[in-house]
Amino acid sequence: MHSLLPTVADQLFRDIQKTYQETSQIPDDLLIALKFIFGPCALPALDLVDQHSVTCLSSPSGRKVFQVTGGSGRLYTCFVSCHYCPCPAFAHTVLRKNEGLLCKHILAVYLCQAMGVTQQDSVTDQQVSMLLSGTSTT
């Protein structure tokens, strides 16, 4: 599923997916595991999920980019295929200090995918190219 994440995190997302499909809820034991594995970004990520802040932009060629509206209203273009978010927390916590696996924006993307609640939007291949090059947002 997410080859860049540790096996235990990958299994957690599979468990969330299975349980959420059956009950439309994430049980307490999985919420506790989420907090244990991902630490302080777990609750803010769940807030982003609740606020429907994650959108998957798909192009005709099949490329996908995720955009997450952060708590401040800023739009972050996240690349889960290479496990990257341009937010300051990702740069500081994940890249500089190596204290976390990911930021709340990427975790929100993974949670939305597991739960099947990602907002979907179609864009042109040119728009995706511009997002990938960092020259534009939609």
Mean pLDDT in the chain?
89
Ranges of each domain in the chain: 7-132
d(CA 13, CA 35): 13
What pLDDT score does 122 carry?
A: 94
> Which two structure tokens, joined as six digits, stand for 80?
């889960």
The answer on pLDDT for 3 being more than 60 is no
pLDDT per residue over 36-84, tens digit each?
999 999 999 999 999 999 999 999 999 889 999 998 899 999 988 788 8
